[in-house]
Amino acid sequence: MLKLEARPEASRWWSLGSPLLALALTVVIGTLLFVALGKDPVRGLQVFFWDPVKTKYAIGELMVKATPLLLIALGLAVCFRSNVWNIGAEGQFVVGAILAGGVALLAGKDTTRWIVLAVLLAGVAGGMLWASVTALLRDRFNANEILVSLMLVYVAEQLLFWLVFGPWKDPGGYNFPQTKTFEAVTRIPRLMDGSRVSIGLLVALVGAALMWVFLFRTRAGFAQQVGGLAPAAARYAGFSSRRALWTALLVSGGLAGLAGALEVAGPIGQLTPYVPAGYGFAAIIVAFVGRLHPVGLVFSAILMSMFYIGGELAQSRLGLPKSITGVFQGLLLFTLLACDTLIAYRVRWQARTPKAVA
């Protein structure tokens, strides 16, 4: 029989190998899923893991999806390392998009390109504002940040719906619930012609580098993690657990809001009810698959964006429902949680001892 035996210390090898094993298991289960649905499993895996990278344009679309996932996951990594469970990054993403869109709508014929900076700063401010509500309720009333941040997601979505169905609705938009298309001067510059990849990709990569420096090469980053994980030890060392709470949520909210601003002023170009694309929730998986490390987050964001694009291709080419994207995301998360057991436990084969006959 198989038996789980506690390791004397956590396995560093399995800490790195667990995400790879989880991905392999996700592929195996996904193959069985395609067979059960009556689809060619080879073609199904090709749609998810090859088609998103087989052309230059496809790689560009992959980077478009990976940019918001990476930015949001970087902020969540700070939260989770600080033992602050921000589950509402989707709401912060939406509010960041709303404030950024509001600034973009102010642009006129004489507006200069400097408004792009104002659009991005408005997005950051929006995300931080929404995250500060969670921080305030946790700090003052000891409210559970998981529930508060999650419930605020739906408040943010309803605020967006009210604006695009009401005061911000484009009068010349044939009654569609959307704002007018933003002026070209407010749009995020693209990196190359023929691709939707914007400078947001560079912002995300620079953010990953800066986050690595902050977490692992600065006293403030060390204090941030200690303040969240061990408040008593932090107080003894002169670190503030309260500051760790506010810093984690404001950084996370600001990055999620920045992602929202880059999305609406980049690929979307206007506010619509479809701005909430689930990036804030998917970024939670990105954060844990990437082991809360900035370098790991880059690769896990690319993997998760492959699931997004693969799901869209599976709808059009294989006739599968839209929910197939969420299925693969869920499979990756649950297999990762299962494989993480091997970090603290090893599997032993133990011969069954025959019962003595009286």
The pTM is what? 0.93
Between CA 71 and CA 117 the distance in angstroms is 17
- pLDDT computed for residue 134 by the predictor: 97
- pLDDT computed for residue 354 by the predictor: 65
- pLDDT computed for residue 239 by the predictor: 81
**Sequence-ordered list of residues with C-beta below 8 angstroms from that of 77, at least 6 positions apart, any chain:** 211, 215, 287, 290, 292, 293, 294, 297
Helix, strand counts (H, E) of the chain: 14, 2
The secondary structure element, H or E, covering residue 206 is: helix 200-217
Residue 349 dihedral angles phi and psi, to the nearest 5°: -95, 120
- pLDDT computed for residue 100 by the predictor: 97
Burial of 114 (0-12, 13-18, 19+ CB in 10 A): exposed
- pLDDT computed for residue 232 by the predictor: 74
The secondary structure element, H or E, covering residue 111 is: none
Q: Which domains does the chain have, with CATH numbers?
A: 40-319 (1.10.3470)
What 8-state DSSP symbol labels residue 190?
Answer: B
- pLDDT computed for residue 357 by the predictor: 59
Query: Would you give per-residue pLDDT tens digits along the chain (358 residues)?
Result: 778 888 888 888 888 899 999 999 999 999 999 999 999 999 999 999 999 999 999 999 999 999 999 999 999 999 999 999 999 999 999 999 999 999 999 998 888 999 999 999 999 999 999 999 999 999 999 999 999 999 999 999 999 999 999 999 999 888 899 999 999 999 999 988 888 999 999 999 999 999 999 999 999 999 888 876 777 777 777 788 888 999 999 999 999 999 999 999 999 999 999 999 999 999 999 999 999 999 999 999 999 999 999 998 998 888 988 888 899 999 999 999 999 999 989 888 877 666 655 5
Burial 151-171 (b: 16+ CB within 10 A, else e): ebbeebbeebeebbeeebbbe
At 169, list the tokens.
């609705």
